[in-house]
């Protein structure tokens, strides 16, 4: 029984020794080969990596840190709708095209910085000489920061922002595709395109930069002086101005009627004290309801818009009418009819003067 066991050990020992030697050799070679940093953008859409990293995985064969490229970008707006001031969003259906040289670029490498894309066609590609041309159709909801200080005399800018997913400003610049002397307004959207309650004033495209105040968690020793990553950003912008007529009919006209209604209290017989007070109280409550109704159409902002100031002016005037009515009634009850008559007379003059002056002060900065 011992002879077979010895024979079996002698058969396996050389294999075990060979395997151990191979593992030792692999460990030594692995320690000599430097590790290569991975690219987060290959697995996470939209990740930004600083220039200290290697070139993008999808274009590493032709783009390096010393290579600079330029892409011409153009837009054509097919439809623009669902502009929501409260949520600061708008829906756009548009075509976008790219022109570039070389075989290093794919349209999927670009990302929209302020939009949620709901539909996207596969980009069609055509090669013209040494240049490449690609176009696709996109539908999505985009966001813009609206300034409402001058509401309802406000103008807003609707923007479509785009950047390359990996290449920074040292490697790539996105520039508008526009022929010299061409009218980008008439060439960049449908002729009959309209936005409800808004007027399109200006359309333009521009190339800018976007600096990120972070290194996205990627740190390479020796590159501390590189600074924050900067990327080229293409923006297609539409400047729109609010049409005043709908607002005048919905809010300004009812508010004016309430102010005039309170002014008529001065012409009601002083004996009708209850009627005078009833008109003033009704005007104040109606003004508050109208003000709250307007606020439902606006986002929560930490400042007064111009419309709020008009409502405040109306509150002051209507409340002034109520106070004047109470004072005149008290003077009349005390037998001071002359004082009550003079107060009523002066109020008939001060009320319209204060209203007109207040309107001028509030309107002039917005014109």
CATH number (domain holding residue 359):
1.20.58.390
Report how far residue 202's alpha carbon sits from residue 30's, in angstroms, rounded to the nearest whole number: 61
What pLDDT is stored for residue 250 in this prediction?
A: 92
Residue 32 resides in a domain: no
Number of domains the chain contains: 2
> Do 217 and 253 sit in the same domain of this protein?
no
Percent with pLDDT over 70 in the chain: 77
Place of tokens 């320690």: 31
Asked if residue 249 and residue 226 are part of one domain, the reply reads no
Share of the chain above pLDDT 90, in %: 62
Q: Are residues 217 and 261 in the same domain?
A: no
> What is the maximum alpha-carbon separation in the chain?
140
**pLDDT tens digits, 304-341:** 999 999 999 999 999 999 999 999 999 888 888 889 88
**Helices and strands (DSSP H and E) totals, the chain:** 7, 10
Residue 53 has pLDDT above 70, yes or no: no
Helix spans in the chain (H): 2-32, 184-187, 244-247, 253-263, 273-295, 306-333, 337-363
Is 118 part of any domain?
A: yes
Is the domain of 226 the same as that of 185? yes
What's the CATH number where 44 sits? 2.70.170.10
131 with 188, same domain?
yes
Task: Give the pLDDT band of residue 10 (cuts 50, 70, 90).
Answer: very low
24: in domain: no
Shared domain for 273 and 223, answered yes or no, is no
For residue 27, being part of any structural domain is answered with: no
- Verify cis geometry, omega within 30 degrees of 0, for the bond prior to 152: yes
217 lies in which domain range? Answer: 40-242
Which tens digits make up the pLDDT trace of 221-271? 555 556 678 999 999 999 999 999 999 999 999 999 999 999 999 998 888
In a domain, 30, yes or no: no
Q: How far apart are CA 30 and CA 339, in angstroms?
A: 103
* 210 burial type by CB count under 10 A (0-12 exposed, 13-18 middle, 19+ buried): middle
Could you tell me if 260 and 138 lie in one domain?
no
Based on the fold, state whether residues 209 and 316 are members of the same structural domain: no
Q: Are residues 52 and 201 in the same domain?
A: yes
Say if residue 252 is in the same domain as residue 338.
yes
Q: What is the mean pLDDT of the chain?
A: 83
Asked if residue 177 lies in contact with residue 221, where contact means CB atoms within 8 angstroms, the answer is: no
Model pTM score? 0.76
Last residue of a domain, one of 206, 224, 242: 242
pLDDT band at 365 (very low <50, low <70, confident <90, very high): confident
**How far, in Å, CA of 171 to CA of 67, rounded?**
6
201 close to 155: Cβ distance less than 8 angstroms: yes
**Residue 195, in any domain of the structure:** yes
Does a structural domain hold residue 336? yes
Residue 25 placed within a domain:
no
76 and 159 together in one domain:
yes
Residue 353 and residue 303 share a domain: yes
Q: Is 30's pLDDT higher than 60?
A: no
Of 242, 276, 301, which residue sits at a domain end? 242
**Of 212, 242, 272, at which residue does a domain stop?**
242
Give the per-residue pLDDT at 40.
37
């Amino acid at each position: 029984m011992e002879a077979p066991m010895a024979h079996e050990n002698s058969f396996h020992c050389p294999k075990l020794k060979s395997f151990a030697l191979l593992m030792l050799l692999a460990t030594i070679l692995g320690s000599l080969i430097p590790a290569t940093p991975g690219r987060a953008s290959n697995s996470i859409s939209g990740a930004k990596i600083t220039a200290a990293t290697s070139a993008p995985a999808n274009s590493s064969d032709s783009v390096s840190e010393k290579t600079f490229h330029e892409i011409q970008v153009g837009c054509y707006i097919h439809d623009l709708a669902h502009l929501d001031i409260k949520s600061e969003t708008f829906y756009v259906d548009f075509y976008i095209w790219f022109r570039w040289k070389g075989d290093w670029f794919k349209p999927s490498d670009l990302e929209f910085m302020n939009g949620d894309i709901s539909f996207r066609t596969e980009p069609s590609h055509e090669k013209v000489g040494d240049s490449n041309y690609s176009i696709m159709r996109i539908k999505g909801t985009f966001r813009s920061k609206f300034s409402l200080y001058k509401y309802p005399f406000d103008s807003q800018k609707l923007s479509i922002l785009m950047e390359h997913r990996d290449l920074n400003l040292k490697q790539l610049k996105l520039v508008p595709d526009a022929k010299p002397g061409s009218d980008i307004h008439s060439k960049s959207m449908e002729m009959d395109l309209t936005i409800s309650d808004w007027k399109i004033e200006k359309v333009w495209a521009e190339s800018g930069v976007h600096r990120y105040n972070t290194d996205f968690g990627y740190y390479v020793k020796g590159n501390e002086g590189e600074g924050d990553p900067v990327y080229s950003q293409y923006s297609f912008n539409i400047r729109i101005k609010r049409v005043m007529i709908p607002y005048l009919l919905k809010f300004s006209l009812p508010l004016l009627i309430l102010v005039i209604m309170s002014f008529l209290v001065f012409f009601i017989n002083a004996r009708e004290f209850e009627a005078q007070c009833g008109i003033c109280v009704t005007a104040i409550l109606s003004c508050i309801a109208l003000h709250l109704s307007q606020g439902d159409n606006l986002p929560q902002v930490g400042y007064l818009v111009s419309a709020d100031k008009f409502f405040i002016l109306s509150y002051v005037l209507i409340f002034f009418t109520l106070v004047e009515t109470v004072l005149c009634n008290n003077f009349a009850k005390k037998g001071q009819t002359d004082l009550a008559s003079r107060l009523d007379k002066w109020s008939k003059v001060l009320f319209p003067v204060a209203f007109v002056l207040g309107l001028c002060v509030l309107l002039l900065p917005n014109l």
